[in-house]
Structure formats: C-alpha cells, structure tokens
Chains A and B, each alone.
Chain A
Amino acid sequence: DAGVTQSPTHLIKTRGQQVTLRCSPKSGHDTVSWYQQALGQGPQFIFQYYEEEERQRGNFPDRFSGHQFPNYSSELNVNALLLGDSALYLCASSLVGEETQYFGPGTRLLVL
C-alpha cells in the first residue's frame, strides 16, 4: 500500500519565478492538505482540497494556489517566489470523515 508521495524532493528557484509541487495521496484517501514548514518551525496549514475544490485555507497570500485532480492527486503552485518561501512543503492526505492525516516526505524548496 503506497503512502503519500511527493515530487520533486528538492527544488531550487530564483526570486520571482513560479513553482509547482505535486502530491499523490495514500491509496483510498480523497482529501489533500498542504503545509509549509520553515526551518526550525512547526508546519503551517496552507489549504485543503476535497472533491477538487479548496475547502479550507490558512493565512497564506493568493500567490499560493492549488488544484486537485479527479484521481485525488494535487498540485501546489506558488507564483512570484520570495526568499521567505524557502521551506519544506508537506502534503498530507486523509479520508473524509476520519481525523488522521498522513504526511508525505515533503519537497524542500530553496529560493535564491
């Protein structure tokens, strides 16, 4: 049973560029959440997708957007990258009606 997978594992971008991160949920899961974990901090919630719609959103600017596909996989897009966007981006999947979120290994983004 495959767990949550994310790609790529590492990414280097420059300020002003755009980036797309990808996530495949655990088999059988239908809900995907994205978190940003800055160095030395706990993860912070970005948004959650269910039935291809953004259901909840944290305190992140509109530069952060996402998408969920019919197969439940998801993308996180960040436009106009800032140095402060450098972080580990974690995807978590869950099944509607259940409280546990399962995390992927993350994508480490470095913005220069």
Chain B
Amino acid sequence: AQSVTQLGSHVSVSEGALVLLRCNYSSSVPPYLFWYVQYPNQGLQLLLKYTSAATLVKGINGFEAEFKKSETSFHLTKPSAHMSDAAEYFCAVSDYGGSQGNLIFGKGTKLSVKP
C-alpha cells in the first residue's frame, strides 16, 4: 500500500532563507507524487507534480522538488523564503501509481516565515 511521511510538522525559517520540506513515500508501483499548499481557511493548490518524467520538477512560486528513487524521497525546496510562503504544505502519492488513483496525503508541514 502507498503511504507518505512528512518529517517535521512545523518548520520555521527566516525571510530569504532556504526552505526545505521533507517527504518520503512508500509505493508498490512507480509513484506519481504531488505537493500541494493550503493557505488558512482555503482549499489545496497544486504546487508541482512528478509523473515519471524529469526527476527535478519545477513548480509555481519558485518551488521545486527532486524525485530520488534510491531514497524514496520527494523533498520540496525554495532557495529564498518569502513571507507569503507561510502556509501548510502537503505531500501526496497517487494510490495506484497513475492517473485516476485517489491521493494519499501526508499529515502536512506548517511553514512559518520570520521577518
């Protein structure tokens, strides 16, 4: 069965610092992986996705993630944090490793950005 583990429920960085949010997955099939962002009292917005093409995936708002099969990881990074990045971030894996599968989410990492 597929699963996702997000290390660190809360990450705090200073404005301008590197953002690193960790995600490890378990999948019995080649995974499709996603990062979503959730701002307070809102739904989920897709940041980026990995679907077995390039291992380094670029997303919106300057975020990117690298798929590392050997480490079963899909960590999210951004070189320089901005105050507007403060939100909760969810990593997800597609249940059947492809399209139409339901998404299995991690518990989320809340990102705080200090001025």
Query: In the complex, which residues of chain B have a beta carbon less than 8 angstroms from the beta carbon of A44?
Result: 105
Chain A contacts for B43, CB-based, 8 A: 4, 6, 90, 103-106
Residues of chain A in range 82-112 having any CB-CB distance to chain B below 8 Å: 90, 92, 94, 96-106
Closest to B90 in A: A42
> Using an 8 Å CB-CB cutoff, how does the interface string of B23-34 with A read, 1 for contact, 0 for none?
000000000101
Given known contacts A43-B44, A43-B90, A99 and B104 CB-to-CB distance under 8 angstroms: no
Are A105 and B42 in contact, with the CB atoms below 8 A? Answer: yes
Report the nearest A residue to B44, measured CB to CB: A103
Our pick among A42, A50, A98, A99 for the contact of B108 (Cβ within 8 Å) is A42
Binding site for A on B (CB under 8 A): 32, 34, 36, 42-46, 49, 51, 90, 92, 94-95, 98-108
